[in-house]
Amino acid sequence: MLFKGMALAMVMGGCFLQMDLSGQAPEGALQLNSYLDWETVANPRISPDGTQILYNRGWVDKLKDTRRSSIWIMNNDGTKNRVLVTGSGVTWSPDGTRIAFMAEDEAGNSQIFVRWMDSEGATTQITRTQESASNLRWSPDGKQIAFTMDVRSAESEWSIDLPQEPDGAEWVEAPKVVERLTYRRDRRGYIDQGYTHVFTVPAEAGTPRQISNGDWNHSAAEWMPVQVWCLVL
């Protein structure tokens, strides 16, 4: 859809991509496989004192057929630009002494990590959950981190009793019942097995505590100055 939209924009603007007699685009022109070489920047975060900027730099892992992301840091004038850690979704603590970010653990789940921004740069894994965390928010006093995570619910069962599978048979997988209009997402697959809820966890690591509940999704949470919850549905 991206390339179709770009082609349409070129035609409507009176510009056409020149082709040589062999039907090939000229050297340097945008090609479908150019996507594998693209790098992106996103999620800029200015430090509380205004001296440094964190941001995400993403690229495509051609061998694993997935997107990767690392966190970079630079001075506010663009100098001393360098990679900091592997991860995404970075955010500064209120006092600027730490950052929280998401990175994969050994099982491939996205966990929360906290890194001190001093010369030592000690990093601690804050969560050890089976589901992936996202949408990190520091509490005003820097003692807790709010985040969202999927909570599994019981899957709808097939209402037809199928014949018993014979011993040694290799049947196809059982049918999956889908009851939601939105049930799949790119790079994630099925998303109808539960709902997204808000959790909190101590910034020094601990057991996450679920704040929201119900059969609907909560997209994020924001801390109020007095640390009262404001849930975003």
At 54 the pLDDT is 97
Pick the more confident residue, 232 or 73: 73
pLDDT tens for 9-37 read 333 334 444 445 555 667 777 777 777 78
At 154 the pLDDT is 67
At 73 the pLDDT is 97
User: pTM for this one?
Assistant: 0.71
In degrees, rounded to 5, the angle at the alpha carbon of residue 152 between the alpha carbons of residues 107 and 136 is 65
Paired with 196 in beta bridges are 150
Q: Alpha-carbon distance 211 to 229, whole Å?
A: 9
pLDDT tens for 92-119 read 999 999 999 999 888 778 899 999 999 8
**Confidence band (pLDDT; 50, 70, 90) for 124?**
very high
pLDDT above 70 for 145:
yes
At 158 the pLDDT is 64
- Every domain of the chain and the residues it spans: 36-155+176-232
DSSP letter at 78? S
CATH number listed for the domain at residues 36-155+176-232: 2.120.10.30
At 160 the pLDDT is 72
At 16 the pLDDT is 40
Who's near 99: CB < 8 A, 6+ residues apart?
54, 71, 90, 91, 92, 93, 114, 115, 117
At 182 the pLDDT is 73
pLDDT tens for 42-91 read 999 999 999 999 999 998 887 777 788 999 999 999 999 999 999 999 99
